[in-house]
Amino acid sequence: MVSRTIPVDTFDLVIFGGTGDLARRKILPGLYRRYAAGQMPEAARIIGSARSEIDADGFRAMTREALAEFLPSSRGESETVDGFLKHLDYAQVDVKGDAGWEELKGKLRDGAVRAFYFSVAPSLFGDIAERLKTRGLAHDESRIVVEKPFGHDLATAKALNASLSTYFTEHQIYRIDHYLGKETVQNLMAIRFANLLFEPLWNAQFVDHVQITVAETVGVGGRGSYYDQSGAMRDMVQNHLMQLLCLIAMEPPARFEPDSVRDEKLKVIRALDPVPLADVVRGQYEANGSGKSYLEDAENPRSLTESFIAMKVRISNWRWQGTPFYLRTGKRMRARMSEIVIRFKETPHSIFGPEAGSKSNELTIRLQPNEGIDLRVTIKEPGPGGMRLVDVPLDMTFADALGPDAEEVPEAYERLIMDVIRGNQTLFMRGDEVEAAWAWTDPIIKGWEDAHQRPEPYDSGSAGPEKALELMHRDGRRWREVRA
């Protein structure tokens, strides 16, 4: 859907790490798409900044190549690209030293919104924050944008928050979790809070359990050294799956405003029970066909890091007491599939008798690909032979329902970056939220580290280790099949 938000004011967006992978893959293509949609003011400026010895023309040439590589081929018409590149500038800066800062400062304009995107290793966040402030590049209304990983555990997240808050207030800090920028993730809130239908049933009295699956087909090849220090728990659960869980489980916020929404998410995280080791299954993919094993991809033959995790999570509050949330995510799985399943309980009594069969409703929210929702309802099987019940889908694929506009779903990053410029923090994580998520995650990780637990091997291209299926079976439940 083409965004219909109002154009923003004049802004200077500085991207530290402007020649890096994230800038080339996501940030610059995202900005280009906003430009192409007419959402960028004439006076907007994007200033790449890195150690690379290039000038503004070199940065534009690199950006042109990145757009050609990372935008779908139907996009990136050359005239529009030329127009976009005119907004780009570059400053070579040594973020740990003195060089380049004065030049960068000279490029910033009075009266423009200033945003600084830290697309660099977290170990550099403090150095950049300090120089921005002490050298007068950032003022009280300037914004900084930081990427995950936001810490490795609670202690490092606290240290990062402390170092940023020495120079910037919370309302200036935009912590990105790109899942919150996904159109379908925002749709979770619309489905829950713009429809009367679901909310009265959205609690432990009516919901048997919730499943959240983020399955990927990619492995960790190419980023094995980062990933091996992190694993699925830190890379995906502590942030992306946790955000999904919060949006499903939170109480209705009073308003769709930053602190209203973030206060409710924080309450969910704080209500999560500790997870015993018996409720966690960790896996590591094995080689299959041409694909390498996790151990080969990570270049660490002794690695105990998980590329898959499944867990049963309980939320101790009135709404969810007794309704488990099952989370699952992994690399090199059978299909790329992210979805949330809300499984309702069976009717309290069947007037049709046991021979009719009993069914329960299921709401599936497909986040990617093939975004849409599917509500399974029970009807009478057509034809003679008495009352036999059958389960059928009320399936709505957004692309079909919304027409051609739906093909233009904005990328997570373009939405989020423009929110930074507009000064809207609703879809960004607050410092206390990140810390609460680590406070819950740390003891779980410690549990398996103390036990020197080895991850279960699973075949690449499968649904993960057998034990993950057992995690559900032992409760008399089943995962939705991982399928394309």
The number of residues making up the chain comes to 484
Compare residues 221 and 423 and give the one whose CB is closer to ligand BG6.
Answer: 221
Q: Could you give the string, one character per residue 181-220, with x where binding to ligand BG6 holds by CB under 6 A and - elsewhere? A: -----------------------------------x----
Compare residues 93 and 146 and give the one whose CB is closer to ligand BG6.
Answer: 146
> DSSP for 99-149?
TTHHHHHHHPPTTSEEEEEE-S-GGGHHHHHHHHHHTTS--TT-EEEE-S-
Compare residues 323 and 338 and give the one whose CB is closer to ligand BG6.
Answer: 338
Q: Distance of CA 354 to CAs 178, 341, 475, 484, Å?
A: 47, 26, 22, 34
Compare residues 203 and 217 and give the one whose CB is closer to ligand BG6.
Answer: 217
* 414 exposure class (CB count in 10 Å sphere: 0-12, 13-18, 19+): buried
Asked if residue 369 has a cis previous peptide bond (ω within 30° of 0), the answer is yes
Q: Least distance to ligand BG6 from the beta carbon of 216, Å? A: 5
Q: Distance of CA 28 to CAs 46, 61, 124, 244, Å?
A: 9, 12, 21, 26
Q: Least distance to ligand BG6 from the beta carbon of 437, Å? A: 14
- Rounded CA gap, 4 and 212, in Å? 30
| Number of other residues whose CB lies within 10 A of the CB of residue 141 | 10
Q: Least distance to ligand BG6 from the beta carbon of 330, Å? A: 10
Compare residues 216 and 339 and give the one whose CB is closer to ligand BG6.
Answer: 216
SS (H, E, C) 392-421: EEEEEEHHHHHHHHHHHCCCHHHHHHHHHH
Compare residues 208 and 306 and give the one whose CB is closer to ligand BG6.
Answer: 306
Compare residues 183 and 235 and give the one whose CB is closer to ligand BG6.
Answer: 235
Out of 240, 349, 452, 473, which one is annotated catalytic?
240
Active site residue 240: yes
Extract the tokens encoding 162: 């402390």
**What does the DSSP 8-state code read for residue 199?**
G
Quickly count helices (H) and strands (E) in the chain: 17, 15
235 to 264, contacts with ligand BG6 by CB under 6 A?
235
Q: At what angle do helices 242-249 and 183-193 cross, to 10 degrees?
A: 20
Q: Least distance to ligand BG6 from the beta carbon of 327, Å? A: 15
- Rounded CA gap, 337 and 348, in Å? 32
Q: Distance of CA 412 to CAs 179, 267, 427, Å?
A: 7, 25, 10
Extract the tokens encoding 153: 């555990």
Q: Least distance to ligand BG6 from the beta carbon of 402, Å? A: 21
Extract the tokens encoding 484: 């394309």
Q: Least distance to ligand BG6 from the beta carbon of 28, Å? A: 17
Compare residues 216 and 297 and give the one whose CB is closer to ligand BG6.
Answer: 216
Q: Least distance to ligand BG6 from the beta carbon of 343, Å? A: 23
Compare residues 89 and 235 and give the one whose CB is closer to ligand BG6.
Answer: 235
Q: Least distance to ligand BG6 from the beta carbon of 235, Å? A: 5
Amino acid at 17: G
Residues near ligand BG6 (CB under 6 A), total = 2
SS (H, E, C) 362-381: EEEEEEECCCEEEEEEEEEC
- Rounded CA gap, 457 and 467, in Å? 10
Q: Is 228 in the site for ligand BG6 (CB under 6 A)?
A: no
- In the three-class reduction of DSSP (H, G, I as helix; E, B as strand; rest coil), residue 319 is classed as coil
- Rounded CA gap, 210 and 247, in Å? 12
Residue nearest to ligand BG6 (CB): 235
Residues that bind ligand BG6 (CB under 6 A): 216, 235
- Residues serving a catalytic function are 240
